[in-house]
Amino acid sequence: MAARSIGSLSISFGLVSIPVKLYSATEASRAISFNLLHKACGSRLKQQYLCAKEEIPVAREDMVKGYEFAKDQYVMFTPEELKALEEAGTHAADITEFVPIEAVDPIFFDKAYYLAPDKGGTKPYSLLAKALRESDRCAIGRWAARGKQYIVMIRPIADGNGDALVMQQLLYAAEVRAVKDIDIPKTDVKDVELKLAKQLIDQQASDKFDPSAYTDDVRTRIEAAVQKKVEGQEVTVADEAPEGGAQVIDLMEALRASLEKKAPAKSQAEPRAETRKPPKRAQAEPSAKKAAKRG
């Protein structure tokens, strides 16, 4: 099914303005979600907001938004006041600078959008995409939408027929924690260990990343279980694997064994296949069946 545009905007740098269409690059709808039901009758549950002081349900029209400036102390804002604070949408992404692509750490990446040329924008679109690719740079700018202001990164990608553009929404510096806040002890690495580690990396190295080589096994299991439930079949649950694994005592042994494509004896987390217990049923057998067996 062809992708549908979710909006339009223009990319501007200098005196050049490129009209483009906006497409979501990801599919949040692919996520599997469950509803909360009443266990006794299977009916859908409704959500209610309760007043913490009076312990009574509060209707939507009686709600206002407030900011907690101190413990249990709030200042309230009307919808009109909050609307006045929002950023006015400009339908434009204004480029402020061009930087090397590798200068932007992926930790700042947020939501991504595909950009396609809109009417009259094919030539300047292709020109910008090719210029970015050949210069190994990306564009950094600002984009206002939905009442908020975003930092965006516009970068080129290959689409099979040429160059396409992706607008990557970025996080602000205040939204990313500094790695220095993490306690990482300084440790010396031996040259021989480093050599073996590099050999292991080279052994498993690929020229490019192929996302289609990875599938969501959890989603597949959930879909299969849902289908079984719909068909009235019983779902079985396998015994849980022991948490964690045995500690690898000798790092050199682990590296050498990895290069030889065999796991070291002390790092095998999974039990042997022949010693695994058969899966147990998720539900106990009905009492009628038990009575029949006893008879």
- Return d(Cα 73, Cα 66) in angstroms, integer: 9
Who has greater pLDDT, 209 or 240?
Answer: 209
> Residue 166 to residues 89, 113, 218: CA-CA distances in angstroms?
20, 6, 29
Express as a percent the part of the chain with pLDDT over 70. 82
Asked whether the predicted pLDDT for residue 285 surpasses 50, the reply is no
How confident is the model over 36-45, as a mean pLDDT? 92
- Return d(Cα 257, Cα 248) in angstroms, integer: 11
Asked whether the predicted pLDDT for residue 245 surpasses 60, the reply is no
Asked whether the predicted pLDDT for residue 138 surpasses 60, the reply is yes
Q: How far from chain centre, in Å, is Cα 12?
A: 29
Reported confidence tier of residue 254, pLDDT bands at 50, 70, 90: confident
> Residue 9 to residues 150, 164, 208, 281: CA-CA distances in angstroms?
14, 16, 32, 55
How confident is the model over 26-47, as a mean pLDDT? 86
**Residue of 236, 246, 249 lying closest to 277 (CA atoms):** 236
Q: How far from chain centre, in Å, is Cα 120?
A: 34
How confident is the model over 239-246, as a mean pLDDT? 57
Q: Are strands 148-158 and 137-145 parallel, antiparallel or unpaired?
A: antiparallel
Asked whether the predicted pLDDT for residue 276 surpasses 50, the reply is no
The per-residue pLDDT of the chain, averaged, comes to 82
The pTM assigned to this predicted structure is 0.69
Model pLDDT for residues 176-221, shown as the tens digit of each residue: 999 888 898 988 999 999 999 999 899 889 998 888 898 888 888 8
**Domain 7-27+86-175: top CATH class:** mainly beta
Asked whether the predicted pLDDT for residue 242 surpasses 50, the reply is yes
- Return d(Cα 34, Cα 281) in angstroms, integer: 22
- Write the CB contacts of 287 (distance below 8 Å, at least 6 apart in sequence): none
Token readout for 141 is 């700018």
Express as a percent the part of the chain with pLDDT over 90. 42
The beta strand positions in 48-125, using DSSP E, are 65-70, 73-77, 92-100, 109-117
- At residue 161, the pLDDT reads 73
Domain boundaries, the chain: 7-27+86-175, 186-201+250-265
